[in-house]
Amino acid sequence: MIADTEKSFDIAKVLLENIKVEITDNEIREVIEFVKERKYFGGPLNFCLAQKPPTKEEAERDPDKSDLLLKCAAMRRMAELLLRARIQNVNARDHINETCLHKCARNGYYELVRLLVYKYKIDIQLVNDNDMNAFHVAALEQHVQIVNLLLKEKIDIGIPTKEYGNHVLVHAARLHHTNLVKLMIQLGADFNARDDVVEYYFFFFGSFF
């Protein structure tokens, strides 16, 4: 565990030096203080990964989102530093019971998901307050590469979720996420799944196949 705040600060600055982003010394120090004092509920990894980055298209249209995209990239690199330094238990949860795997899956951070699953052996079955595991959040964001990885690792895709009813597959169909629906079925999703809203049965698939 990193105990020397000043040393950690120097490492963080080296890590971020190749990113063209205005992130202040105080912001870096704040992250390191979370590491040292555990001020953030859920730990420093969840803190670094909490902000969902805008898409490249959104960043091209909006200068503010362009800055946010760069800052998210910096915080993602910071999270990787903290992960490799084994700062905290990777299964630590935040105020909505999400782990850093939920955050990475939602944000599309495929390489970090790979690290968490294969190197750090994070529990992929843990669910948040909405009973959603990392598969659910990746699927709803259409991060197909992450969905594929988690499905191959036998993540439970049949957990009833509070927001989307009995199966996220139904919600993906409702949103016409065609490629994702096909992939989920190919990899074992229940084609007969239903959600809690009667009108949303699998007649949605009529236009898919």
Tens of pLDDT, residues 5-56: 555 556 566 655 555 556 666 766 676 666 666 556 778 888 889 889 999 8
Helix, strand and coil percent figures for the chain, each rounded to 5: 55, 0, 45
Q: Is the pLDDT of residue 185 over 80?
A: no
> What is residue 189's predicted lDDT score, i.e. its pLDDT?
62
Top-confidence residue, 147 or 27: 147
The answer to whether the beta carbons of residues 2 and 85 sit under 8 Å apart is yes
> What is residue 79's predicted lDDT score, i.e. its pLDDT?
87
Q: How many domains does the chain have?
A: 1
Give the residue from 163, 166, 171 showing the smallest Cα distance to 193: 166
What is the C-alpha to C-alpha distance for residues 112 and 109, in angstroms, rounded to an integer?
A: 6
Top-confidence residue, 34 or 150: 150
> What is residue 18's predicted lDDT score, i.e. its pLDDT?
53
Q: Please check whether residue 109 lies inside any domain of the structure.
A: yes
> What is residue 182's predicted lDDT score, i.e. its pLDDT?
74
The answer to whether the beta carbons of residues 52 and 98 sit under 8 Å apart is no
**Structural domain range at position 91:** 5-155
Average pLDDT over residues 60-79: 87
> What is residue 199's predicted lDDT score, i.e. its pLDDT?
40
pLDDT digits (tens, 9 = 90+) for 166-181: 566 666 676 666 777 7
Our measurement of the distance from residue 124's CA atom to the centroid of its chain's CA atoms, rounded to an integer in Å, reads: 12
Q: Please check whether residue 52 lies inside any domain of the structure.
A: yes
CATH number of the domain encompassing residue 80: 1.25.40.20
Q: What percentage of the chain carries pLDDT values higher than 70?
A: 59
What is the C-alpha to C-alpha distance for residues 172 and 66, in angstroms, rounded to an integer?
A: 28
What is the C-alpha to C-alpha distance for residues 103 and 13, in angstroms, rounded to an integer?
A: 23
Q: Please check whether residue 193 lies inside any domain of the structure.
A: no
